[in-house]
Amino acid sequence: MPGIVPHRHCIVCGKAIEPDQTFCSEECKKAWDKERKRQRNFTIFMFLMFLGLLFILMFSAPR
């Protein structure tokens, strides 16, 4: 089918790239890694906050 070339889009900036690639450049790969790490840290932080809150609730509940 002419006109439709299999391709993907860079998941960071949306630029068209080769089907076997995920990023258009090393910069976008780095940006993605950074964002992923930030998100993971945030998830861990939220989980710890949740545990802490649960802990406080369990020990401050009226008997």
Residues that bind Zn ion (CB under 5 A): 10, 12-13, 15, 24, 28
Residue located via tokens 């401050």 = 60
Please report how close the Cβ of residue 55 comes to Zn ion at its closest, in angstroms.
Answer: 43
Rank residues 27 and 49 by Cβ distance to Zn ion and give the closer one.
27
Angle (nearest 5°) at CA 50 between 45 and 53: 125
CB 34 → Zn ion: shortest distance, Å? 13
Smallest gap from Cβ 16 to Zn ion, in A, equals 10
The number of angstroms, rounded, from the C-alpha of 7 to the middle of its chain's C-alpha atoms is: 22
